[in-house]
Amino acid sequence: MAEAGLREGAHARRAVAVGEPLFEVENLVKHYPVRSGAFLGRGGGVVRAVDGVSFTLRRGETLGIVGESGCGKSTLARVLLRLVEPTGGRAMLAGENLFDLDKRAIRLARRRLQIIFQDPFASLNPRMTVAEIVREPWAIFPGVVPRGEWHDRIADLLTRVGLNADDAHRYPHQFSGGQRQRIGIARSLALNPEIVICDEPVSALDVSIQAQVINLLEEIQEGFGLSYIFIAHDLSVVRHISDRVAVMYLGKFVELGTWQEIYERPTHPYTQALLSAVPAIDPAERTRRIILEGEVPSPIDPPSGCRFRTRCRMAEARCAAEEPALVERAGGHRSACHFAAAPAE
């Protein structure tokens, strides 16, 4: 995406604002059963969409999660919201494991944890007005916003996402893609959540309006004190907004670090390849481009050892035999590669 138009200095601001651990995810696993007739591989007939992911999200922090299509990013988001059931792991929010909650308790937890979807066309009900879309969560959670205040609160939310109070009476099809995503953002804020999971919120939008929506999400984060999990399929989109970045490949995190560590001192060959696909401003940088060949292998039968080895320019026999653990290199910087050097200080 174009970097032009993004606000400056956001990282300096957030480095100060980030607070205590808020959301702790441990060894999250989601395996989907393979439907009959499909190829049953060594994996035992399951799609290993998410296969052991751990991270901590701090208050006020943005954790970027990046990986090619099919790496399990949306599944991770959906499991955290219990839109699909986890296979294993824990997701601790304020001392409660979201994966232990019954249906009623999950609904209550969702007040604190909201999602913005990739496709602003598919995620808004075309038969509902903007006002009906934004206030729908208040009907599910009576008492959060007294009925007498709905009108003013809707106007306030619409203004905060850059729409007009008058837009409340219009229908989604009357808006552009960027404006529809703003409606989705207003709705996600209606219950005053603490965490918003943004699943590729700008991927379906024109490049020219991606920066506007990212700027808006940053402003809203400041105004509402939110923590974000921000998912994208390439590293350029999350660069500006993320405090830390996790790089995901075939259901696992392969590298996790601060944005400086990931963009300036990447240690995993997959991160390096994704980074070299980001258009470089400096022509000297362009010559170092690493081409990532082929597609992500099937998560039904992932490669033995290191899952990235079939596309890795450094792979050796050891990589097929032994799975590299996500080990700490320096500070909190983690990398899962047998050859990842300790980053130079």
Q: Which is nearer to ligand ADP, 149 or 295 (CB)?
A: 295
Kindly state whether residue 86 participates in binding ligand ADP, applying the rule CB under 6 A.
no
Task: Put residue 293 in one of left, alpha, beta given phi > 0 → left and psi -120 to 50 → alpha.
Answer: beta
Among 14, 31, 73, 182, which residue sits at the site for ligand ADP (rule: CB under 6 A)?
A: 73
**74/258 with CB nearer Mg ion:** 74
123 scored as a contact of Mg ion (CB under 5 A): no
- Give the helix ranges, DSSP H, for the chain: 10-17, 73-80, 103-109, 130-140, 150-160, 177-189, 207-224, 235-239, 259-264, 269-276, 283-286, 317-321
Alpha carbon 114 to chain centroid, angstroms: 12
CB of 275 to ligand ADP, least distance (A): 18
Footprint on residues 286-325 left by ligand ADP (CB under 6 A): 299
Minimum distance from residue 299 beta carbon to ligand ADP (Å): 5
Cβ closest to ligand ADP, residue 80 vs residue 145? 80
Token couple for 41: 């591989």
Q: Is 189 left (phi over 0), alpha (psi -120 to 50) or beta?
A: alpha
Burial grade of 233 (CB within 10 A; 0-12, 13-18, 19 or more): middle
Q: Are 256 and 55 in contact (CB under 8 A)?
A: yes
User: Site for ligand ADP (CB under 6 A): which residue of 15, 40, 69, 224?
Assistant: 69
CA 74 to chain centre: 8
Give the binding range for Mg ion (CB under 5 A) out of 70-78, 155-163, 201-209, 279-287: 70-78
The reply on whether position 70 binds ligand ADP by CB under 6 A is yes
Cβ at position 65, least distance to ligand ADP in Å:
9
Output 134 or 247, the one with its CB closest to ligand ADP.
247
Q: Which does residue 71 touch among ligand ADP, Mg ion, none (CB within 5 to 8 A, set by kind)?
A: ligand ADP
CB 74 to Mg ion: min, Å = 3
* Other Cβ atoms closer than 10 A to 301: 16
Residue 267 interacts with ligand ADP (CB under 6 A): yes or no: no
- CB under 5 to 8 A by kind: which of Mg ion, ligand ADP, none does 62 bind? none
Total residues interacting with Mg ion, rule: CB under 5 A: 2
Q: Within 95-154, which residues bind ligand ADP (CB under 6 A)?
A: none
How many whole angstroms separate alpha carbon 258 and alpha carbon 58? 13
The contacts of residue 247 (CB under 8 Å, 6+ apart) are: 66, 67, 235, 253, 254, 255, 256, 262, 268, 270, 271, 274
Binding mask 25-64 for ligand ADP (x = CB under 6 A): -------x--------------x-x---------------
Q: Which of 14, 30, 74, 123 binds Mg ion (CB under 5 A)?
A: 74
Structure tokens at 248: 């995901």
Q: Which of residues 155-174 bind Mg ion (CB under 5 A)?
A: none
Q: Does residue 74 interact with ligand ADP by CB under 6 A?
A: yes
C-alpha triplet 243, 245, 248: angle, nearest 5°: 165
Q: Which stretch binds Mg ion (CB under 5 A): 72-80, 145-153, 246-254, 324-332?
A: 72-80
Please report whether residue 71 would count as binding ligand ADP according to CB under 6 A.
yes
Query: Shortest distance, CB of residue 33 to ligand ADP, whole angstroms?
Result: 8
| CA dist., res. 196 & res. 109, Å (int) | 12
Q: At what angle do helices 207-224 and 10-17 cross, to 10 degrees?
A: 30
Q: Which residues contribute to the site for ligand ADP (CB under 6 A)?
A: 32, 47, 49, 67, 69-75, 299
Q: Which residues contribute to the site for Mg ion (CB under 5 A)?
A: 73-74
